[in-house]
Amino acid sequence: MHSTHNHPIASGNYPYRTKPLLTDMPTFWQHDPQLWFDMVDSEFSQNRITDDQAKFLAVLKHLGSHICKTISPVLRSLPATDKYCRLKEHLIKKFASSTQQKIDSLLKECKLGDKKPSELFTEMEALGQGHVPQATILLFWYRLLPNDMAIQLDDAVTRQDAQSAVEKADRIHQRLRFPDSHISAIASHDTLDDARLNQITEHLSDKILAVIESKTKPRQNRSSDSSGSHQRARSQSRTNFGPNKDLCFYHSKYKNKAKKCPDKSCAASKYEKEWLTEEKSKKSARLDMCETRLQGITSSKRLFIKDKILALVFLIDTGAEVSVLPKDENSTLSPSSLTLHAANGTLIHTYGERQVNLDFGFRRVTRWTFICADVPYPIIGADVLAHFGWLPDLQAKKLIDKVSKISAQGHLAAAPITGISLINPQHPFASTLSQYTALFSSHTDPSVRASGVFHYLPTSGDPIAQRPRRLTPEKLRAAKQQFAAWCEDGTCRPSDRPWASPIHIVLKKVPGEFRVCGDFRKLNAVTQPNKYPVPNLHDFTSILHGTCIYTTLDLYQAFNQIPMAPEDIQKTAFISPVGLFEFLFMPYGLRNASQTFQRYVNQALGDFDFVFIYIDDVLIASNSREEHELHLKAVLERLKQHNLRLNLAKCVFGQSEVVFLSHVVNANGFSPLPDKVQDIEHFPQPTNIDELRRFLGLVNFYRAFVPHAAEILAPLNKLIVGAKKKDTTPILWSPEADKAFRDSKQALTKATALGFPKENAQIRLVTDASTVAAGAVLEQQTDSGWQPLGFFSKKFTSGQRKYAPYDLELTAIFLAIRHFHHELEGREFPVYCDHKPLQYAFSQAPEHAPLVRQRQLAYI
């Protein structure tokens, strides 16, 4: 019988409380059983629960049926006493991650990416959950760092000074991410010879192996002898080389470090061979564990070659898709839309292109167009190496020219920025786009331009020959550089023919840079027109109903990819103080150039019903992401077959909303581009006729989105009646014109989004007429109601304004049907207007109506 003072009730330790125990506790945490039991024990302590049976039942209640089923054999075999402790030990042992598993999770789940090294270390400490020693976390954190950073941290890691290592890593990360010096600073980094590398590797691998062995080796339970004393079990090595009467003096004192053993009967001799084998296997394991680290350190050395013209040291990187130059430190340019991606995930902003001459001692000067970017040193990528046939030899530290067999001597140094790519590796379609990186090259190569097509210039009369225009020194220098570049890449050549058109040089947005183009106005005047159709700009909506994902492509230097007909090359000649040059490929400004290019792109992509082509702009629309990837791949393959290249900076791939032909396109419809609307809204009040025409041109481009646009703009259109071309006559603003100017801006800011035409949908036409203009809207029936497809408005002529209301309304219907005939022809649709007498228009005898009305009714 139990004594009273040991009973839980008598001692005040109640096994059950009035309030249910652990009601607020979650079910058992398989991912961290130790932490869960710590919380449970805290709850037991707060509720003064000490009875083993009460603890066992409470824990059992929160295990869940799945866990109980898994450990049911254990539950049946638990002793009558100490159930809670036995169950706790078993659950922790079964579900707790081993140290090795925690270490594996540190390596698998943790990556540096865009994080700072200190953030990575904190994340790894959290994953270690206090069970992995900080020394182990430090060593594995060290292995995850970039090679050029890790090399500089070996001293702090060797001392196991985590705080110092992390702080130093953050400083190095900041310096590498925002470099303030060029390659000279990088080349001066401390480098390690092979002996030093072996020393670091062996030391670190010893540390890693020792920590892992100490944590993964199972502990032996302490045992009690009959006298109640405890003795710690010794490891095999200590037993073999510890104090033993069978060991000699040297082995007894120095253990396995003993170098002398005069006594052949020493017990250590029989373990000597065994011990040597074990040490060799441990050393092999250490080398295997650090093999990856060694490869990373040695591979961080890259080949650098100095150029004789620019005196710049270039990194030779076969893993870079493009070649880049550092941005000019004094440049104030803003980043362009093209973003490059380094191998370590760093985003690299670009600032346009720059053509430079290179001389590495190959007895020939080479010229290449580099991308200017935020990089610490210039990089020659695979594009340049493949084009000129240069072969890097890292072992000999040389760059070899395959043509001349001459080599340029360089040096090896660490490089933090490598493997620059055009495609974001995180993009959903990265795998597809990476197969067609050649399409995004900006280098002009005559061998890869459009084939099977020529631009013809059928002219009449004598050759057009004009005198050269005088140029300022800056423009003359720009002309010389441009013609030299064109001649080198095969775009043009010197000419001795009688044709000559003057050049026109304009300043680009980039300060100090000029654009050279031809003034072909007189040549175009004697050129016969090409009647090949260019599509209506708004017809792209015909393929978009039901689509939800889009890609827009912009063809790179579209016209310059089309070769000139051999007999018409002489007609493209430019004359300038530099000389007379004729173009082998179609320059900008020629008559019929748009028709020729439209025909060629239609030959390449015209049979795809998911593609809309407007000269050099291409839209791909699909119903799903999977379908879109197939469509995108098909289009890129066709472009590759027809030697057409893309301007990656202006391409958008696989988005739910894109900008196409200055319109915003998504699954709900299309609307004016907000940037253009904002430009119109902030357009200053015109002071002359020419400025007013520019404003009206901007507004009329989005006329289909504005109801009653003709009526709103009527006072402004009245001001330009009878004006000549480029008329700078000042405008006398009236209150009526001023109001029209403000109302037109406001109407465009409230423009209605239009839908995509749906085949076989119910449509209707709503018209209205005033004494000034006719207006209409074409709508289609959708699940959410009537959706506008487009607005129409037209100002009445002076004769039409004299019509009676009946004829004004009829004329409005006639004009609206004629405008939307491409959507209405062959379909039944109702017409709504606010003039009821028109209901009887078709029931009246036509011979009694005026001729104008008869023609309108016949058309309707």
Q: Would you say residue 555 has pLDDT above 80?
A: yes
Same domain for 345 and 416, yes or no, is yes
Q: Using 50, 70 and 90 to split pLDDT, how confident is the model at 298? A: very low
Q: List the CATH number of the domain containing 782.
A: 3.10.20.370
In a domain, residue 522? The reply is yes
Element (DSSP H or E) covering residue 214: helix 194-216
pLDDT, residue 499, reads: 94
Neighbours of 411 (CB within 10 A): 13
Same domain for 634 and 593, yes or no, is yes
Element (DSSP H or E) covering residue 366: strand 366-373
pLDDT, residue 501, reads: 94
Q: Would you say residue 179 has pLDDT above 70?
A: no
Beta strands across the sheet bearing 339-341: 339-341, 347-358, 366-373, 324-326, 379-380, 313-316, 301-306, 411-414
pLDDT digits (tens, 9 = 90+) for 117-153: 888 878 777 766 556 677 777 777 777 777 667 767 7
Residues 343-356, mean pLDDT to the nearest whole number: 83
Residues 728-752, mean pLDDT to the nearest whole number: 90
DSSP annotation of 608 reads -
Residue 482 contacts residue 558 (beta carbons within 8 Å): no
In a domain, residue 404? The reply is yes
First to last CA, the chain: 112
pLDDT, residue 337, reads: 78
Name the pTM for this structure. 0.62
Same domain for 597 and 676, yes or no, is no
Q: Using 50, 70 and 90 to split pLDDT, how confident is the model at 583? A: very high
Residue 518 contacts residue 572 (beta carbons within 8 Å): yes
Give the residue from 667, 699, 720 where a domain finishes. 667
Neighbours of 552 (CB within 10 A): 20
Distance (Å, whole) CA 35 – CA 57:
19
Q: Would you say residue 327 has pLDDT above 70?
A: yes
Q: Which residues contact 105 (CB under 8 A, 6 or more apart)?
A: 97, 127
Q: Would you say residue 257 has pLDDT above 70?
A: no
pLDDT digits (tens, 9 = 90+) for 46-57: 777 888 888 888
pLDDT, residue 564, reads: 93
- Residue of 199 and 299 predicted with greater confidence: 199
pLDDT, residue 242, reads: 46
Instruction: Scan for tokens 């197969």, then name that residue.
Output: 435
Q: Would you say residue 739 has pLDDT above 90?
A: yes
pLDDT, residue 345, reads: 75
Give the residue from 215, 244, 265 where a domain finishes. 215
Least confident of 96-100, 261-265, 730-734: 96-100
The highest-confidence range among 24-33, 413-422, 479-488, by mean pLDDT, is 479-488
CB-based contacts of 525-528 (< 8 A; 24+ apart in sequence): 526/459, 526/460, 526/461, 526/464, 527/457, 527/458, 527/459, 527/590, 527/591, 527/592, 528/458, 528/459, 528/460
Q: Which of 666, 708, 655, 675 is nearest to 541 (CA)?
A: 666
pLDDT, residue 192, reads: 43
Same domain for 562 and 659, yes or no, is yes
Distance (Å, whole) CA 649 – CA 552:
11
Distance (Å, whole) CA 142 – CA 205:
12
Q: Would you say residue 239 has pLDDT above 50?
A: no
Q: Would you say residue 766 has pLDDT above 90?
A: yes
Q: Would you say residue 443 has pLDDT above 70?
A: no
In a domain, residue 680? The reply is yes
In a domain, residue 283? The reply is no
Distance (Å, whole) CA 661 – CA 609:
19
Same domain for 609 and 504, yes or no, is yes
pLDDT digits (tens, 9 = 90+) for 807-851: 898 999 999 999 999 899 888 899 998 888 887 777 777 677 788
Q: Would you say residue 214 has pLDDT above 70?
A: no
Same domain for 699 and 742, yes or no, is yes
Q: Which residues contact 371 (CB under 8 A, 6 or more apart)?
A: 322, 323, 324, 325, 338, 340, 350, 352, 353, 442
Q: Would you say residue 231 has pLDDT above 80?
A: no
Same domain for 322 and 386, yes or no, is yes
Average pLDDT across the chain, whole number: 79
Same domain for 494 and 352, yes or no, is no
Residue 498 contacts residue 464 (beta carbons within 8 Å): no
Core vs surface per residue 313-344: b (16+ CB within 10 A) or e: bbbbbbebbbbbbbbeeeeeeeebebebbbee
Tokens read off for 628: 């879109």
In a domain, residue 337? The reply is yes
Q: Which segments of 648-762 are extended strands (E)?
A: 652-655, 657-660, 663-666, 669-672
Q: List the CATH number of the domain containing 346.
A: 2.40.70.10
Q: Would you say residue 340 has pLDDT above 80?
A: yes
Same domain for 452 and 390, yes or no, is no
Least confident of 61-75, 409-423, 610-624, 792-806: 61-75
pLDDT, residue 175, reads: 67
What range defines the domain where residue 64 resides? 15-95
Phi–psi pair at 697, nearest 5 degrees: -65, -40
Residues 81-87, mean pLDDT to the nearest whole number: 83
Same domain for 642 and 502, yes or no, is yes
Least confident of 84-88, 146-150, 191-195, 645-649: 191-195
pLDDT, residue 629, reads: 93
In a domain, residue 243? The reply is no
Q: Which residues contact 242 (CB under 8 A, 6 or more apart)?
A: 234, 255
Distance (Å, whole) CA 539 – CA 548:
18
- Residue of 215 and 334 predicted with greater confidence: 334
Distance (Å, whole) CA 829 – CA 834:
17
Q: Which of 689, 560, 688 is nearest to 616 (CA)?
A: 560
Instruction: Scan for tokens 């020419």, then name that residue.
Output: 690
- Residue of 314 and 345 predicted with greater confidence: 314
pLDDT digits (tens, 9 = 90+) for 389-440: 899 998 889 999 988 889 999 998 888 777 888 888 888 888 899 888 888 8
Distance (Å, whole) CA 390 – CA 405:
10
In a domain, residue 366? The reply is yes
Same domain for 580 and 493, yes or no, is yes
pLDDT, residue 415, reads: 81
pLDDT digits (tens, 9 = 90+) for 639-685: 999 888 898 888 999 999 999 999 999 999 999 999 999 999 999 99
Q: Would you say residue 523 has pLDDT above 90?
A: yes
Q: List the CATH number of the domain containing 593.
A: 3.10.10.10
The packing angle between helices 689-701 and 709-719, to 10°, is 160
The highest-confidence range among 19-33, 152-166, 447-461, 648-662, by mean pLDDT, is 648-662
Same domain for 119 and 149, yes or no, is yes
In a domain, residue 611? The reply is yes
List, in sequence order, the alpha helices (H) in 424-530.
430-433, 473-489, 521-525
Domain count, the chain: 6
Give the residue from 163, 184, 215 where a domain finishes. 215
